[in-house]
């Protein structure tokens, strides 16, 4: 019996692997423009971090985490999201003590959630995210929101816009929480099983329930804006003003509460008009979390961030038939004519690679005709033939696929030659 991959996972290779690497490089370049610093955290952390950070009442912790006990009898969890681990690192490495603030970080890597696999959603998935600590300025909220907006626009996705809401500060959120409990209690029998459990523990999560969202009681539920204090209203209005200054289209959606317990003030989702995605066009989400660092035993530090799943972005690009500009051509393919020329050829290949060219050669003992076919399959720009005469007389035979010419180039000038002919088409 063949061993197969676990349910909800996938193998990444070939064209899909090239797409992911392209997106990662694009995000890396974008983060350099924004002056965000790369951070990597462990794939697993102590379970308590996610219970305290993400929240006991969130679906992620209550239903979806991969938990295990290690050989030291410690309770561990595969990370289900990136923020909690970054917050732990921010505290443990005393980044809050840096003279230069805010601390702006980005990450990219696999996350794990035990949920029902579906299109664009897996149990192991790759997530890109940013976290910015140290500033309560609404301007930073707007900057964080602009990152995924600009990323999706760079990819050519249409109808990119932001759905935004506010949960207010802790005082506003608590007042709103009480109002929701009082409102939904008389209607508890109308709610799904999950929402019945959420009523006392996390009533805000009822608002974005996928099962009950069409009920009349949802449409008439209290709105957060009626429970905001003045400072929370001011913060929200300034975020929207900054988004307008950035020419970012947004829609106020009072039902956006996000699935994690740590959010305060701004919460948002970014969507694109992806044909075939149906009603759920959301590609990423995030918000502000001014109490999270303190909840994980750090100093009182405001924060804001977001995350997006790469698989969902790839699915959106596929639905929209967007081709990524991936360079899929080999610079040079080297053909040793016989076994005798292999030692010379591998030395040449190494020299060319270390000079900055992408190079491959024959490892299958093909004849010359078969090697030319292989060079065509690899879309080689230049083919170098190494035979006995070439080695003895100090030159290389070249087939230039860029301009369909053949040349004989002195060994000492091969680097200059390749620089010139390959630069012409780049």
Q: What is the pLDDT along the chain (426 residues), one digit of tens a residue?
A: 899 999 999 999 999 999 999 999 999 999 999 999 999 999 999 999 988 766 665 666 667 889 999 999 999 999 999 999 999 999 999 999 999 999 999 999 999 999 887 766 799 999 999 999 999 999 999 999 999 999 999 999 999 999 999 999 988 888 888 888 888 888 877 788 878 777 777 787 777 777 777 777 887 888 888 999 999 999 999 999 999 999 999 999 887 876 566 788 999 999 999 887 765 688 999 999 998 999 899 999 999 999 999 999 999 999 999 999 998 899 999 999 999 999 999 999 999 999 999 999 999 999 999 999 999 999 999 999 999 999 999 999 999 998 889 999 999 999 999 999 887 655
Q: 14-169+229-319: what fold?
A: BirA Bifunctional Protein; domain 2 (3.30.930)
Q: Are 108 and 43 a contacting pair, CB within 8 Å?
A: no
Record the pTM.
Answer: 0.89
388 token code pair: 């006995």
CA distance 47 to 423: 53
For residue 101, count other CB atoms closer than 10 A to its CB. 14
Instruction: Report helix angle 14-34 to 310-319, nearest 10.
Output: 110
Q: What is the pLDDT of residue 138?
A: 98
What token pair was written down for 333?
Answer: 């393919």
Burial of 350 (0-12, 13-18, 19+ CB in 10 A): exposed
In sequence order, what are the residues at sequence separation of 6 or more whose Cβ sits closer than 8 angstroms to the Cβ of residue 107?
38, 39, 40, 41, 82, 86, 127, 128, 129, 130, 131
Edge-to-edge order in the sheet of strand 282-288 = 37-38, 103-112, 124-133, 303-309, 282-288, 264-271, 161-166, 250-252
Q: How far apart are the first and last CA of the chain?
A: 48
Q: Which residues contact 161 (CB under 8 A, 6 or more apart)?
A: 248, 249, 250, 251, 270, 271, 272
Output the pLDDT for position 77: 94
Label residue 25 exposed, middle or buried (CB < 10 Å: 0-12, 13-18, 19+): exposed
- List phi, psi (to 5°) of 412: -70, -15
Q: Where are the domains of the chain?
A: 14-169+229-319, 332-423
pLDDT at 270: 96
Note the pLDDT of residue 201.
Answer: 75
CATH class of 332-423: alpha beta
Query: How crowded is residue 76: how many other Cβ atoms within 10 Å of its Cβ?
Result: 18
Helix then strand then coil, in percent of the chain rounded to 5, is 45, 20, 35
- Residue 161: count other Cβ atoms within 10 Å of its Cβ: 17
Rounded to whole angstroms, how far apart are CA atoms 305 and 326? Answer: 29
Q: Which residues of 209-232 are buried (b: 16+ CB within 10 A; e: fewer)?
A: beebeebeebeebbebbebbeeeb
């Amino acid at each position: 019996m063949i061993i197969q991959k676990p349910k909800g996972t996938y193998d990444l290779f070939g064209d899909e692997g090239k797409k992911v690497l392209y997106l990662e490089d694009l995000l890396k370049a974008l983060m350099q423009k924004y002056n965000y610093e790369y951070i990597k955290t462990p794939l697993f952390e102590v379970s308590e971090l996610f219970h305290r950070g993400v929240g006991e009442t969130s679906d992620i912790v209550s239903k979806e985490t991969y938990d295990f006990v290690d050989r030291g009898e410690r309770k561990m969890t595969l990370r289900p999201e990136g923020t909690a681990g970054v917050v732990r690192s921010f505290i443990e490495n005393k980044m809050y003590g840096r003279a230069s603030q805010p601390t702006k970080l980005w990450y990219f890597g696999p996350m794990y959630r035990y949920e029902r696999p579906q299109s664009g959603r897996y149990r192991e998935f790759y997530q890109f995210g940013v976290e910015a600590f140290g500033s309560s300025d609404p301007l930073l909220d707007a900057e964080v929101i602009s990152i995924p907006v600009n990323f999706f626009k760079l990819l050519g996705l249409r109808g990119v816009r932001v759905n935004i809401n506010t949960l207010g500060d802790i005082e506003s959120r608590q007042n709103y929480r009480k109002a929701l409990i009082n409102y939904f209690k008389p209607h508890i029998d109308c709610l799904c099983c999950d929402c019945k459990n959420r009523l006392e523990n996390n009533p805000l999560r009822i608002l974005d329930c996928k099962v009950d969202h069409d009920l009349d009681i949802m449409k008439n539920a209290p709105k957060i804006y009626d429970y905001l204090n003045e400072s929370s209203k001011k913060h929200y209005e300034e975020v929207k003003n900054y988004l307008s200054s950035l020419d970012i289209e947004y829609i106020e959606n009072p039902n956006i509460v996000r699935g994690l317990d740590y959010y305060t003030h701004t919460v948002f989702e970014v969507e694109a008009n992806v044909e075939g995605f149906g009603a759920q066009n959301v590609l990423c989400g995030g918000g502000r979390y001014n109490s999270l660092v303190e909840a994980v035993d750090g100093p009182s530090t405001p924060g804001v961030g977001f995350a997006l799943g790469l698989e969902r972005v790839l699915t959106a690009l596929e639905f929209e038939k967007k081709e990524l500009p991936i360079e899929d051509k080999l610079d040079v393919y080297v053909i040793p004519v016989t076994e005798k020329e292999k030692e010379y050829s591998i030395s040449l290949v190494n020299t060319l690679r270390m000079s900055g060219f992408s190079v491959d050669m024959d490892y299958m003992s093909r004849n010359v005709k078969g090697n030319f076919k292989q060079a065509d399959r690899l879309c080689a720009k230049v083919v170098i033939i190494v035979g006995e005469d070439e080695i003895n007389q100090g030159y290389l035979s070249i087939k230039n696929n860029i301009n369909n010419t053949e040349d004989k180039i002195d060994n000492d000038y091969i680097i200059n030659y390749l620089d010139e002919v390959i630069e012409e088409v780049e």
